[in-house]
Amino acid sequence: MYNIHIDKGNHTMKLDVRDRLTKARVRMLLKHPFWGNLATRLKLTEASDWCGTAATDGRKFYYNTEFINKLDDDELVFLFGHEIGHIVYDHMGRRGDRDPQLWNMAGDYLINDMLLENNVGKKITKVDILWDPKFRGMTSDEIYKDLFDNAVKIEMTLDMHLDGTGEEGEGNGKGSDGKSGSSGVKIDPEMAKKIRDEVKEAILQSAQAAGAGNVPSGIKRLIQQFTAPKMRWQDLLRIQLESSLKNNYSFMRPSRKGWHTGAVLPGMLPDEELDVVIAIDTSGSITEDMIQDFLSEVKGMMDLYNSYTVHVFCFDTSVCAPETYSSDGNNDLASYEPAGGGGTDFECCWTYLKEEGIEPKQLIMFTDGYPFGSWGDPNYCDTLFVIHGTETITAPFGVTAHYSFTKETV
């Protein structure tokens, strides 16, 4: 016979910790939906044999049971946010030939400040974390340069940082048990690229489900950088329309593509209200056929929702031909007749909205991208610029999509 000893206390603690981590993700879904969506897709993986605190490879959330057990509920939310931040900013794949420890520090400075600024959980006090307000608004690359130029002392990071170089992941984050060093987790370059592609899709889906108002501005810019050049303008238009919806959530199963856990995430239901403004630049090379094509795409998306209000107008140096379409009134957007033609003053759009007391969740501007002066007010509402004629122009704020049009021939 074999004498088998089971440490019931340790087993119970492991179960309790896993349960607390699961509940922390649910709280994130409800209070911080962007972060919660991404947290839910990570597979919880106990790794106390090599991980002193926590780590991620983009698919799994590795954790040390004893360290997690010492954190309160809000600190767990912060920890999840920290790991998700490394995923979102691709700190694992963008290190290059930089000093690994300084790069890890730069990533932690960026992420910890972003979490504190957006009130995601509570700052962890069980271990020292890297935070300095002087780095607010800076990128990881800019923070790294500052650290490198000033030859700063190497500090411990909160977690272990895995990479996609084909080597075993290393980190200088230590938990209360002092563990650090090699993880034993190897991520070859091919697998790292696959994970990055999955993560990009997950980020996009999470931002879409959360709504524009729940996505930090720095992450919005990041999303634009890696999606706008590759996405069809129709897809960006759909995403922006959906992001304008009110932040009410129902649990629904989204597309399974790119998701490993099969988790049920909060998403928008089609009975929520669209509240958008469409501004059409009639000063340049945009033809009536293009306008009708553009509006037909919008109309098709509007028809997916039971409740909507869409203000449409044309502009050159002033606003003209304003119309309002709604689900309980005139809904024949396809019959809209454009007007105007002359110079281009983007500012007149925002002036008109303010004077008329129109405060949309989303402004969609269809333009050739050549204003005479300012692009408009970046703080009034979320804005999508759909630009025709060139792919070299990007708006200085909001999201930019590039429109292409091929006229059908009979």
DSSP one-letter string for 210-241: H-GGGS-HHHHHHHHHHHTTTS-HHHHHHHHH
Asked if 238 and 118 sit in the same domain, the reply is: no
CB atoms within 10 A of CB 254: 17
- Residue with more model confidence, 259 or 21: 21
Asked if 191 and 238 sit in the same domain, the reply is: no
Q: Please report the pLDDT score of residue 242 as a whole number.
A: 67
Q: Give CA–CA dist 260/191, Å, rounded.
A: 15
- Residue with more model confidence, 48 or 219: 48
Q: Please report the pLDDT score of residue 293 as a whole number.
A: 84
> Could you say which DSSP state residue 380 is in?
T
Nearest residue to 82 via CA among 16, 143, 27, 131: 131
Residues 6+ apart with CB under 8 A from 273: 245, 246, 305, 307, 308, 309
**Cα radius of gyration rounded to whole Å, the chain:** 24
Asked if 126 and 176 sit in the same domain, the reply is: yes
Residue range 248-267: mean pLDDT, rounded? 41
Q: Which of 7-21, 222-236, 239-253, 255-269 has the lowest mean pLDDT?
A: 255-269
Asked if 27 and 170 sit in the same domain, the reply is: yes
Residue 228: inside a domain: no
Asked if 275 and 154 sit in the same domain, the reply is: no
Helix (H, G, I), strand (E, B) or coil at 403: strand
With 90 as the cut, is the pLDDT of residue 232 above it? no
With 50 as the cut, is the pLDDT of residue 279 above it? yes
Residue 206: inside a domain: no
Residue range 195-217: mean pLDDT, rounded? 78
Q: Which residues of 286-302 are buried (b: 16+ CB within 10 A; e: fewer)?
A: beeebbeebbebbbebb
CB atoms within 10 A of CB 372: 11
CB atoms within 10 A of CB 75: 18
Domain count, the chain: 2
What average pLDDT does the chain have? 78
Asked if 158 and 241 sit in the same domain, the reply is: no
- Residue with more model confidence, 295 or 77: 77
With 80 as the cut, is the pLDDT of residue 102 above it? yes
406: tokens are: 């091929």
Residue 227: inside a domain: no
CA 247 to chain CA centroid, Å, is 15
With 60 as the cut, is the pLDDT of residue 47 above it? yes
pLDDT interval class at 76 (50, 70, 90): very high
With 90 as the cut, is the pLDDT of residue 111 above it? yes
> Could you say which DSSP state residue 197 is in?
H
Residue 410: inside a domain: no
158: tokens are: 């909160």
Instruction: Specify the CATH number for the domain of residue 339.
Output: 3.40.50.410
Residue range 12-24: mean pLDDT, rounded? 93
Residue 218: inside a domain: no
Asked if 237 and 103 sit in the same domain, the reply is: no
Residue 265: inside a domain: no
Residue 224: inside a domain: no
Residue range 300-326: mean pLDDT, rounded? 87
Distant-in-sequence contacts of 257-261, Cβ < 8 A, 24+ apart: 257/201, 258/197, 258/198, 258/201, 258/202, 258/205, 259/41, 259/202, 260/41, 260/43, 260/59, 260/198, 261/40, 261/41, 261/42, 261/43
Asked if 46 and 151 sit in the same domain, the reply is: yes
Q: Which residues of 21-58 are buried (b: 16+ CB within 10 A; e: fewer)?
A: beebbebbbeebbbbbbbbbbbeeebbbebbbbbbbbb
Asked if 190 and 278 sit in the same domain, the reply is: no
Nearest residue to 104 via CA among 86, 122, 121: 86
Residue range 229-242: mean pLDDT, rounded? 70
CA 306 to chain CA centroid, Å, is 27
Helix (H, G, I), strand (E, B) or coil at 178: coil
Q: Which of 135-139, 193-197, 252-256, 368-372 has the lowest mean pLDDT?
A: 252-256
The CA–CA distances, whole Å, from 360 to 55, 206, 239, 380 equal 40, 22, 16, 9
With 70 as the cut, is the pLDDT of residue 114 above it? yes
Distant-in-sequence contacts of 19-26, Cβ < 8 A, 24+ apart: 20/68, 20/73, 20/76, 21/61, 21/63, 21/68, 21/76, 23/73, 24/73, 24/76, 24/77, 24/80, 25/80
Q: Which of 41-55, 137-151, 373-387 has the highest mean pLDDT?
A: 41-55
Q: Please report the pLDDT score of residue 6 as a whole number.
A: 43
Asked if 70 and 165 sit in the same domain, the reply is: yes
With 80 as the cut, is the pLDDT of residue 216 above it? no
Give the domain range for residue 43. 8-195
Asked if 185 and 52 sit in the same domain, the reply is: yes
State pTM to two decimals: 0.54
Q: Give CA–CA dist 131/200, Å, rounded.
A: 26
- Residue with more model confidence, 217 or 279: 279
First to last CA, the chain: 85
Residue 260: inside a domain: no
Asked if 147 and 278 sit in the same domain, the reply is: no
With 50 as the cut, is the pLDDT of residue 250 above it? no
The CA–CA distances, whole Å, from 236 to 24, 232, 401 equal 31, 7, 7
286: tokens are: 């945009």
Residue range 247-268: mean pLDDT, rounded? 41
